[in-house]
Amino acid sequence: MLDRQTLFMIVLGLSILNGIFSPFLKIAIPISAALMPELFPRTLEWVLLWSSVLLSSATLLFSGVPAALFERLIARRSEGTASMWIWLAGAALLCVPALAGMRLPG
């Protein structure tokens, strides 16, 4: 069985994967260009980087909501891994469009 830290690393990896390959990157580009701090130049590379960070953070946040609700309403013990499995399932569901859009060589 996987422990909580390993499951969290898998959730982080899925969130990063979704941030890079998400089809919603086209929507996040103008948002991140408007929200980008003036410290960074508004080049394509920086806008793509911050768009990916925005989508990765959103995936991590929104996939954690069902796990937090489960832990708050149902589970009374916080040391179990059930909420981490729910978080992983939420992240995997949010990554489905990104995984479907990936082109594998061959």
Residue 3 lies in a domain: no
Residue 5 lies in a domain: no
What phi-psi label fits residue 80: left (phi over 0), alpha (psi between -120 and 50 degrees) or beta?
beta
> pTM, whole model, 2 decimals?
0.86
Residue 1 lies in a domain: no
Q: How confident is the model at residue 7 (pLDDT cuts 50, 70, 90)?
A: very high
Looking at the structure of the chain, the number of domains it has is: 1
Residue 65 lies in a domain: yes
Residue 2 lies in a domain: no
Amino acid 11: pLDDT: 97
Residue 52 lies in a domain: yes
Residue 18 lies in a domain: yes
Q: How confident is the model at residue 22 (pLDDT cuts 50, 70, 90)?
A: very high
**Structural domain boundaries enclosing 91:** 11-101
Amino acid 36: pLDDT: 80
Name every residue whose Cβ is closer than 8 Å to that of residue 48 and which is 6 or more positions away in sequence: 25, 29
Q: Which tokens is 20 given? A: 């890079």
Residue 4 lies in a domain: no
